């Protein structure tokens, strides 16, 4: 392998530790190597950052190990005012590159491949885009949970003999929630109570809605 970078670093990331190997030296000579191990707590990652800045290492590669690479990436991505190139590499890609010695540490092998320009990093969007992705994915997850619970309540009402959805387009609207809340508190509902629960156009179908909830919820239900 022909070397292309005079200074680079490989990171072998684990849940509790990060092994870093920095390789320095002219590309036509054998590189000097230094290995250090850091913890994964915030203070430890700041120590790693200081070492990166002290050694003026602007090329770093790491494996995409679960989610453990993310805090390390965010700690280092703004080093040197953002003038740093970091590659997050698929572990399978590195395993498919032949030539690793049996006694070579993973961090050293990553640095060796980076120095030779043999690594292809995954696409990592800018921080503002990553944060937006996180919010939209979380929102999608919350909406999915809400929908799941609504479906569960609807199935429960149907299995208990309440056909509220047959006469209401949305049983989780203001009227539907009022009816369900009253049923949970009292077990059954009267016409007078139903009249106080219904809003706007649903009042036009009061008799039909009353027939759909003409039952009783037990304490268990």
Domain layout of the chain by residue ranges: 7-124, 129-212
* SS3 call for 4: coil
- Note the pLDDT tens digit of each residue in 91-118: 887 777 777 776 678 899 999 999 999 8
> For residue 180, is pLDDT > 90?
no
Question: Would you say the pTM of this structure is higher than 0.75?
Answer: no
CA–CA separation, 62 vs 130, rounded Å? 18
pLDDT at 103: 60
Q: 37 is written with which tokens?
A: 């191990």
Residue-by-residue DSSP string for 56-123? T--EEEEE--TTTHHHHHHHHTTGGGG--EEEEE-HHHHHTS----TT--HHHHHHHHHHTT---PPP
CA–CA separation, 153 vs 133, rounded Å? 30
Q: Is the distance from CB of 48 to CB of 75 less than 8 angstroms?
A: yes
- Note the pLDDT tens digit of each residue in 6-23: 999 999 999 999 999 999
Task: Provide the β-strand partners of residue 24.
Answer: 7, 32
For strands 59-63 and 7-13, give the pairing.
parallel
State how far the alpha carbon of 7 is from the alpha carbons of 28, 60, 116, 127, 175, in Å: 13, 9, 11, 26, 68
The closest of 104, 103, 13 to 67, measured between CA atoms, is 13
- The superfamily CATH assigns to domain 7-124 is Ribonuclease H-like superfamily/Ribonuclease H (3.30.420.10)
């Amino acid at each position: 392998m022909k070397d292309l970078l005079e200074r680079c670093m490989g990171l072998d990331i684990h849940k509790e530790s990060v092994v870093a190997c920095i390789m320095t030296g002219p590309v036509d000579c054998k590189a000097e190597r230094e290995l250090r191990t850091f913890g994964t707590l915030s203070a430890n990652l700041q120590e790693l950052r200081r070492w990166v800045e002290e050694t003026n290492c602007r090329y770093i590669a790491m494996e995409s190990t679960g989610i453990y690479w993310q805090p390390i990436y965010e700690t280092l991505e703004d080093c040197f005012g953002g003038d740093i190139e970091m590659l997050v590499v698929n572990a399978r890609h590195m395993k498919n590159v032949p030539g690793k010695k049996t006694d070579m540490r993973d961090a050293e092998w990553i640095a060796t491949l980076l120095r030779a320009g043999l690594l292809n990093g995954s696409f990592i969007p800018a921080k503002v885009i990553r944060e937006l992705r996180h919010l939209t994915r979380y929102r999608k997850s919350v909406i999915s949970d809400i929908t799941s619970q609504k479906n569960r309540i609807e199935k429960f009402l149907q299995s208990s003999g309440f056909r509220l959805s047959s006469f209401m387009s949305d049983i989780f609207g203001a009227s539907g929630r009022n009816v369900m809340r009253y049923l949970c508190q009292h077990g059954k509902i009267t016409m007078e109570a139903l009249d106080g629960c219904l809003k706007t156009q649903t009042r036009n179908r009061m008799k039909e809605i009353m027939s759909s909830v003409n039952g009783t919820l037990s304490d268990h239900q």
